[in-house]
Amino acid sequence: MRAPKSFEEGMDRLNAILAQMQQEDTSLADSVKLYAEAATLMQSRTLHAVLPRDTGKNVAADRGDQCKARTDRRSTTGAGGRIMEYKAQYQEYLLQATAALDAASARFLPEESEVCRAARYSLLGGGKRIRAILTLSVCDMLGGEMQAAAQFAAAVEMLHCYSLIHDDLPCMDNDDLRRGRPSCHKAFSESTAMLAGDVLLTEAFEVIANAPAAPQICVAAARALGAGAGSRGMVYGQELDLKYEALAATEEQLRLIHRNKTGALINAAVQMGAAAAGAAPQQCEILASYAYGLGLVFQIVDDVLDVTSTPEQLGKPIGSDSENGKTTFVTLYGVDSAMALAQKLNEQICSDLQQHFGAKAAFLQQLAQQLLVRKN
């Protein structure tokens, strides 16, 4: 394989590989070959100069040296270089997450089942994989076991996908479009979509149970995911969201809704990465503050995009909040003030990360910044 002549060419080829890996008809064997090709590409001189890592091997003995090399380089790299490094690192995590999802689908979602085909349709249909990338990046930052983190990342994406399938159903948000194509209940049927969500929820925990990690680590990851998804997290947030469709909400009530509906699963992703690294309780507390803050920023930007973007840009319907009379940060404060609030929150969570983790947190800080300025 010819080495790329420039960083841009290398990233274009990585993006093409990712797109192929995420196609529903790509087999597991082909995914493995594509992942190996991407790993080789990441080791080419052009990309290695930006992100010198041993992609795919995840050798624990090398992790301290790799983290130190990245930290030393960040102290002397300008803003443009940091963005390039962030993009390369993001692609590496995305490749790991995609490979783990392909493997989990092959093992736990048999194609002979229509329900599992519907689950695969939604699970492998693209997306930013923010939660998976958070799991992997936190584990990486803390020098943890990346093979276990990859399976935890697949599990949190499976659970997130279940929530999206159910959220789109006629009894909930009744949305016909998800990630630029028909929602699961439109591509299959309402009952099949319901069961597809159920199977993703269930199998997420089997993926965790089969991760290559000590039992106590798998238990910690399962506990984090259960807490983030259930009655103390995402499900409760969805309950509150439905309740306030017919009632005017205050900022305090909106924060409570989004802390649970969005922030809790983001925190679960972060805590699963921390579990894979055997993080100390104080580290977990700091990361939780980051995760809940990031979840609120994500939701504020979502509210803004719902009135400023297009269905083509977002890959889903827009304007449904205003049509349903829901209170959002935009209806409370307007677009400009809502974005100013998001900016302030973002600065605070990034400052806290910098204070406690230093340059090792550069990727998480840059991720927060990119989510703030995203267009979809």
Neighbour count for residue 317 (Cβ, 10 Å) = 17
Listed residue (98, 367, 142) closest to 276, CA to CA: 142
What single string gives the DSSP state of each residue in 27-78?
-HHHHHHHHHHHHHHHTSHHHHTT----TTT--GGGHHHHHHHHHHHHTT--
- Range list of β-strands (E), 46-165: none
Q: Say what the pTM is.
A: 0.82
Least confident range from 98-102, 169-173, 186-190: namely 169-173
Q: Which two tokens stand for residue 3?
A: 């080495």
Rg value, the chain, Cα: 20
pLDDT of 101: 97
Q: What does the block give as tokens for 242?
A: 């439905």
Tokens standing for residue 206: 């089997």
Distant-in-sequence, close-in-space partners of 67: CB < 8 Å, separation ≥ 6: 140, 141, 143, 360
What would the pLDDT profile of 93-127 be if each residue is shown by its tens digit?
Answer: 999 999 999 999 999 999 999 999 999 999 998 88
Residues recorded for the chain: 376
- Report residue 68 as tokens: 């130190």
What digits encode the pLDDT tens for the residues 30-74?
Answer: 665 676 677 666 656 555 555 544 444 443 444 455 555 454 544
Number of other CB atoms surrounding residue 140 within 10 Å: 26
pLDDT at residue 75 in the model: 44
Q: Which residues of 270-282 are buried (b: 16+ CB within 10 A; e: fewer)?
A: bbbbbbbbbbeee
Please give the share of the chain, as a percent, with pLDDT higher than 70: 79
CA end-to-end span of the chain, whole Å?
A: 33
Which pLDDT score is estimated for 2?
62
The pLDDT value given to residue 39: 64
Tell me the residue ranges of DSSP E strands in the chain. Answer: 177-178, 181-182
What domains are there in the chain, each with its CATH number? 7-372 (1.10.600.10)
φ and ψ at residue 26, rounded to 5 degrees: -80, 125
Q: How many CA atoms lie within 13 A of 267 on its CB side?
A: 29
How many Cα atoms are found within 13 Å in the side-chain-facing hemisphere of 204? 32
Q: Which residues contact 364 (CB under 8 A, 6 or more apart)?
A: 134, 137, 138, 141, 290, 353, 357
User: What integer is the mean pLDDT of 3-20?
Assistant: 71
- Dihedral pair phi/psi, residue 182, rounded to 5°: -55, 140
d(CA 306, CA 99): 32
pLDDT at 327 over 70: yes
Q: How far apart are CA 260 and CA 74, in angstroms?
A: 34
Q: Is 76 or 319 the better-scoring residue by pLDDT?
A: 319
**For all residues of the chain together, what is the average pLDDT?**
86
φ, ψ at 181 (rounded to 5°) = -145, 170
How far apart (Å, rounded) are the C-alpha atoms in residues 74 and 67? 11
**Per-residue pLDDT at 287 exceeds 80:** yes
What type of residue is 351? Answer: S
pLDDT at 179: 85
Residue 255: its pLDDT value, please?
96
Q: φ and ψ at 177, to 5 degrees?
A: -130, 135
The answer to whether the beta carbons of residues 376 and 315 sit under 8 Å apart is: yes
* Closest alpha carbon to 268 in 285, 246, 290, 291: 291
Separation of alpha carbons 234 and 228, rounded Å: 6
